[in-house]
Structure 1
Amino acid sequence: MLERLNQAMEHIERHLDRSVDVAELARIAVTSEYHFRRLFAALAGIPLSEYVRRRRLTVAGAEVLAGERTLLDVAVRWGYGSTEAFARAFKAVHGVGPGEARRTGAALSAQPRLSFRLTIEGSNSMRYRIVQKDTFRLAGRKARVPLVHEGMNPAIVAFVKSIEPATRERIEALSDQEPAGIVNVSDGLAGNRAEGTELDYWYGAVTAAEVPGDLDVLPVSAGAWAVFETSGPFPEAVQHLWRDVFTQWFPANPYRSRPGPEISRTRISADGAHADAQLWIPVEPAS
């Protein structure tokens, strides 16, 4: 898998001056477009589109400083229809416009080429099971919140506190299958896992029952789920498990993620310091 990802990175470098064909990158990596985007973001820490943009403007920056082409020629070569559009994008990355950079020889930012290498990080085995589930409903309350990789998410904390205790009890009473009880769900990430990316957060329950009309409902299709368990400090243990699934487990196993909500069943100790959790990720065979 790592070799194929590096082949995809090489393909990006050879085609930086044209639109990125994600379908072709996924074909090189022998995976789906959906999984390629999510795996790249998890491993690289930035979305694929942002990486490509930074790489283009890194190479364009060198051409700007070289002074051998007009700024319009450089802009057109790297896919910008005008010097104004190029200047805006250039300044967003380098902190200075291309004209000023050329006149003053300003220091520019550089996005290094990415390559993926095996490091000894998986010394602890990851226990998992594959569960086939029929269609079900996720019922509860949802809110649009920003993604937070480390520490408590203030938006989620405030949202959960806003749900009346009686409503929480009604939601929990709907649970009639695994994962049991109240679950926390992330949906609508659209392949982007950068810090601050918005997602749909659900405080809900997994059910096959009819759902009261005043609750939010998300129909979930049948399919396979990879189920992981962890126990440790809260919220770090849960967040690190989420990270490790995408950066360690997927590259080492013959599965890829498929569209669907990611479900966490978390039980927190009375003092709020420790959690026992399950993480349910929708998957499909990689080939």
Structure 2
Amino acid sequence: MLDRLNQAMEHIEDRLDQSIDVAELAHIAVTSEYHLRRMFSALAGMPLSEYIRRRRLTVAGAEVLAGDRTLLEIAVRYGYGSGEAFARAFRTVHGVGPGEARRTGCALVSQPRLTFRLTVEGSSSMRYRVVDRPDFTVVGLKARVPLVHVGPNQAIIDFVRGIEPQSRELLEKLSDQEPHGIVAVCDDLDPSRAEGTELDYYQGVITSSAAPDGMSVLPVGAGTWAVFTTSGPAPQAIQELWRDVFTQWFPSNPYRSRPGPEILRTRLSPGGTEADAELWLPVEREQG
């Protein structure tokens, strides 16, 4: 998988001054467009679209400083419809406009080319299972929250803290399918997975019961799920599980992520310092 992903990165480099079709990148990587975006975001820590934009403006920055082309020629070459649009994008990445950069020769920001490598650390094995599930239903309380890549998500923290104890007790009683108990469910994420884009976040349960008044329902279609488990210090163990799934498990196994909700079941120790976690991700087998 990583070799094919690196071939897609090379394709980006060859077409920085042309249109880049994500569907074509997915074809080169021999995977789906959905999985390519998901995999890239997890490995690189930024959306694929943001990486392409930063690489274009890195190369464009070098041309601005070189002074061989006019600023408008550079803008058009790298896909901007006007000098103003190019200047705005340039300033967002480099902190200065292209005209000022050319006049002063100031230092610019560089987005390095990315190359992906699999690093094997230690000899521990990841605990997982793959299960086929018929369709099921999530019932619970829902909030629309922003996506946060690093650090706590205050919107989620405030939402969970605001749930009444009696609502949690009611949900616990409704749980009758695995993963059992109250779970965190993320759904309807923006394909770019860019910082600040919004998603539906549920505190809910998997149940065959009807939803009580005031609660939301999320129907989930039948499909295959990869289920990962971990135990350790909170929240590090959970954060490391997400990292290891995308940096180790997906590159080493014949599966790719598919559209669908992502489900996390967490049980904390009485002091809140240790966690047992179970992560459910929708997957499908890679073709070929």
Calculate the TM-score normalised by the size of structure 2.
Answer: 0.95
Quote the Cα distance in structure 2 between the aligned partners of 1:3 and 1:122.
23
Q: Report matched runs for 1:27-66 at 5 Å.
A: 27-66=27-66
Give SS of 1:237's match: helix
Quote the Cα distance in structure 2 between the aligned partners of 1:116 and 1:245.
15
Contact 1:149 1:239 in 2 (8 A): no
Give SS of 1:208's match: coil
Aligned to 1:5: 5
Quote the Cα distance in structure 1 between the aligned partners of 2:53 and 2:149.
23
The Cα shift of 1:257 comes to: 0.4
Q: Which stretches in structure 1 are left out of the alignment for 5+ residues? A: none
Q: Does 1:144 align with 2:127?
A: no
Q: Does 1:134 align with 2:134?
A: yes
Give SS of 1:259's match: coil
Aligned to 2:87: 87
Q: What is the identity, as a one-letter code, of the residue corresponding to 1:75? A: A
Quote the Cα distance in structure 1 between the aligned partners of 2:18 and 2:99.
23
Contact 2:175 2:205 in 1 (8 A): yes
Contact 1:143 1:200 in 2 (8 A): yes
Give SS of 2:210's match: coil
Aligned to 1:215: 215
Quote the Cα distance in structure 1 between the aligned partners of 2:155 and 2:180.
24
Quote the Cα distance in structure 1 between the aligned partners of 2:60 and 2:223.
45
Q: Does 1:72 align with 2:54?
A: no
Contact 1:17 1:56 in 2 (8 A): yes
Quote the Cα distance in structure 2 between the aligned partners of 1:122 and 1:219.
40
Quote the Cα distance in structure 2 between the aligned partners of 1:132 and 1:43.
27
Tell me whether 114-123 or 274-283 shows the greater mean CA deviation. 114-123
Quote the Cα distance in structure 1 between the aligned partners of 2:37 and 2:151.
25
Quote the Cα distance in structure 2 between the aligned partners of 1:196 and 1:247.
23
Write the deviation string for residues 160-206 of structure 1: whole angstroms up to 9, x where unpaired.
12111111111222211110011111222234455555332210001
Give SS of 1:144's match: strand
Quote the Cα distance in structure 1 between the aligned partners of 2:32 and 2:18.
21
Give SS of 2:109's match: coil
Q: Tell me the matched-pair count.
A: 287
Quote the Cα distance in structure 2 between the aligned partners of 1:30 and 1:145.
32
Aligned to 1:108: 108
Q: What is the identity, as a one-letter code, of the residue corresponding to 1:19? A: S
Q: What is the identity, as a one-letter code, of the residue corresponding to 1:21? A: D
Structure 1 residues 204 and 178, CA gap change in structure 2 (3 angstroms): same
Tell me whether 152-161 or 28-37 shows the greater mean CA deviation. 152-161
Calculate the TM-score normalised by the size of structure 1.
Answer: 0.96
Q: Does 1:255 align with 2:258?
A: no
Quote the Cα distance in structure 2 between the aligned partners of 1:131 and 1:209.
22
Tell me whether 193-202 or 66-75 shows the greater mean CA deviation. 193-202
Contact 1:42 1:193 in 2 (8 A): no
Q: Which stretches in structure 2 are left out of the alignment for 5+ residues? A: none
Tell me whether 40-49 or 203-212 shows the greater mean CA deviation. 203-212
The Cα shift of 1:41 comes to: 0.6
Quote the Cα distance in structure 2 between the aligned partners of 1:138 and 1:48.
30
Q: What is the identity, as a one-letter code, of the residue corresponding to 1:130? A: V
Tell me whether 114-123 or 234-243 shows the greater mean CA deviation. 114-123
Aligned to 2:16: 16
**What is the root-mean-square deviation in Å for CA atoms of aligned residues?**
1.5
